[in-house]
Structure 1
Amino acid sequence: MPYINQIQTSASESRLEKLIAERLKPGADKAKIDARIWDLFGETWAVMFTDLSGFSRSVAEFGIIHFLQIIYESQRLLVPCIDRYDGILLKTEGDSMLVIFRQARKAAACAIAMQRAAKRYNQDKPDTEKILLCVGLGYGKILKIGDRDVFGPEVNAASKLGEDTAKAWEILGTGTVAEHLKTLNKISLEPISTIPPGAKQAFRIIYPL
């Protein structure tokens, strides 16, 4: 299976590179090529970006070993939540994770479960070792290239919300995410003024912790 997955991912990237090369040629019909790219790679997914609050400061104060410990512990704690809610962890980068879900509701439910897991974990930990999670969510049509990466306005918006805007314990989502959460029990949606590029609206998901 790992070998098959490697072949499939490589084939996807190779096909995209060829189409981009065609797009760069003088006189290329870019609209037609773009339509082909969307036909090949366009899919609808919920996108989650996570980040750890205050992490850069912790690294500066406590060093790289502390940095690695917190990353290890956060992944050990949070990846089972991703599995339980049928998410796919595409990649990690430092203290951040990129995860995709077929349903926006499952992405939000997973984010809440992750925050609750972090709360339980933190109960007997000193402040320097607490996992303070920030989450950004997007939902819509994206370009999914194998199982390596995703691209699109909702990807960019989720990244901005999770990595730059959200504070510890916050779950922020775009307007398209909010549309799928209005009927969920025990949560509410609060508009926020910081609307990232790629989104028309953005909301804070208020949930019982």
Structure 2
Amino acid sequence: MQFEPNYIYHIYNRGNNKQLIFFNDENYLFFLRKIRKELLPHFSFLAYCLMPNHFHFLVQVKDVSHSSDDFKSSDDFSKIISNKIAILLRSYTRAINNQENRTGSLFQQKTKAKCLNDYYSSMNEYVTACFYYIHQNPIHAQLVKKIEDWKYSSFLDYANLRNGTLCDHELALEIINFDEINFLEHSRSILNEKYLKGIWM
């Protein structure tokens, strides 16, 4: 994975062979704590959703000057961040393998990171589509009837139904085309297929 400071990425992975990666509420909470430890120093989170067998992050890479790690090139920078993602997934896998008395990989081998800055003048539209898509995931998977019924996404925070602190709300308002007053209505709208196709590797 290649990462550049201040660029925006849709990061995602799923269980190996589409297997479950979260088995109970504590698993979701443990994963979120790991995200804070390993990724938050390097990413500003715009949105996230944890699903039973996969996850989505929408993030902006923090500026080089905000990193505490010493690196000499953009390749070093990418390696550091990629390694942090790998540490997150490895440590979580160890915990789940111990919990479930299993062995082997839990996630697919390669985590995907689609850079949404590639679209230049249309970047905001792609970022906005990704933002809403991530929050609509539980509806599309028929896990809940209403978006607000799914606990493990950033939707509740943006809807002012929870005071979550993982996502940078001020940054999201600068980047994403969403109306706070009509947020609930817009979150349930049908998304443009053109932009949805562009948020994947």
Q: TM-score range by the shorter chain?
A: 0.3 to 0.5
Give the greater-gyration-radius structure (CA): 1
TM-score (norm 2): 0.39
Calculate the TM-score normalised by the size of structure 1: 0.38
Asked which structure has the greater RCO (Cα within 8 Å, sep 6+), the reply is 2
